[in-house]
Amino acid sequence: MKTSIIIPSRMASSRLPEKPLADIFGKSLVMRVYGQAVKVPSADEVIVATDHKVIFDHVIAHGGKAVMTSPDHQSGTDRVAEVTRSLNSDIIINLQGDEPLIHPGQIEDLIHLMKEENVQIGTQCQRLTDPDLLFDYNVVKVVRDDNDKALYFSRQAIPAIRDAGYGQWLSLTPYYRHIGLYGFKKDILHRITALPSSTYEKVESLEQLRWLQHGFTVYCKETYYASVGVDTPEDLERVRDLFFREMLR
């Protein structure tokens, strides 16, 4: 099954201006992500999807492949879907453009999941151990059934434990944070991006709830790989520090 990894990348970021071009020891953030993606054994191609010509030109100039997309998309998933309409691919991986430390093995695991015949949409989660993250609205939580199918995604800590204080929750049941790495069968991607917004999607501001509410199944496998996303100047400095430490080894 032919697999394409698409990296949506846009210049507009209120918390970190021109984020995709931020320098990390001689390479931009977007090219650091691209460099990890091309190491994935099962990937047939890697493409940056962008609405900004500066990003497009930057990727091309550094030996990458990029495609210009409409500036009107509401989400990275919509941007990815536009690119894939002209691709002869069976599996589409939506890789966030702000994960410069993502391990190729993590992406490879998702591709293996997507090769299963019954999987329409795949994603990943990681067990939470930090109580601050459990109650952080910026950290999306997920609950699953016994077959790794997502039951619900929320910014709230779920499940709620009725008869215990918040400080006890992590010791009483496993909690999982959602990792925003997605896999789609190509036809399913085009179907979900044509759906109207849903009630739960609007109130939680989580597009994956649209898919669940419209009856699609999202498989969510646990991953043991750790990565660091870049959303703020502080995140960028933390990533630079991690790269520096790696260089000293």
Tokens of 211: 């898919």
Tell me the pLDDT band of 245, cut-offs 50, 70 and 90: confident
Dihedral over Cα of 20, 90, 122, 195: its sign: positive
- Domains of the chain, earliest start first: 3-236 (3.90.550.10)
pLDDT per residue over 35-82, tens digit each? 999 999 999 999 999 999 999 999 999 999 999 999 999 899 999 999
Question: In angstroms, rounded to a whole number, what is the distance separating the alpha carbons of residues 204 and 206?
Answer: 5
pLDDT per residue over 147-187, tens digit each? 999 999 999 999 999 999 999 999 999 999 999 999 999 99
Residue 11 CA, chain-centre distance (Å), reads 17
